[in-house]
Amino acid sequence: MKQNLNMKQEFLEIRDNFQFLDDWEDRYKYLIELGGTLAPFEEQNRTEANKVNGCVSRVWLSSTYEDIDGQTHITYSGDSDAMIVKGLVAILLAFCSGQSARWIVDNDALKMFDELGLREHLTTQRSNGLASMVERIKSEARAQL
């Protein structure tokens, strides 16, 4: 994966850790561990509006906006009721959260998951759910442009 100077340190550490792990079972354990690092998701955010459609597991994403130097930056929080999916949410948030709407639109989160070697090990349903999460984030970012 090419280095992007706007990538957050949190994501770069996750990427480096995945590159270090050769065995899929170790990557699977790390994915679950990452899910456990998500900040607690407030109960009032578990709304139908924050629920991501297209996921077999229940997934919620909420966002806040901040104008920084004339650009809208979006900070996300999220959660899932499935451990593996919660890990995918953690990686997606490490990649996108806090970035500008333009950055989110211009960077391919699904390609990032491919480069980490994760999507090839997901079931079709989980892969479709991941695509739904990414589309939800990109759609929200496009709306801010």
Domains in the chain: ranges and CATH: 9-144 (3.90.1010.10)
Q: What is the pLDDT of residues 85-142, one digit of tens each?
A: 999 999 999 999 999 999 999 999 999 999 998 988 888 999 999 999 999 999 999 9
The yes-or-no answer on residue 96 being catalytic is: no
DSSP letter assigned to residue 121:
G
b/e per residue 52-81 (b: at least 16 CB within 10 A): beebebebbbbbeeeeeeeebbbebbbbbe
pTM of the predicted model, to two decimals?
0.93
Query: Lowest-pLDDT range, 11-20, 75-84, 99-108, 114-123?
Result: 114-123
Among 7, 14, 55, 104, the active-site one is 55
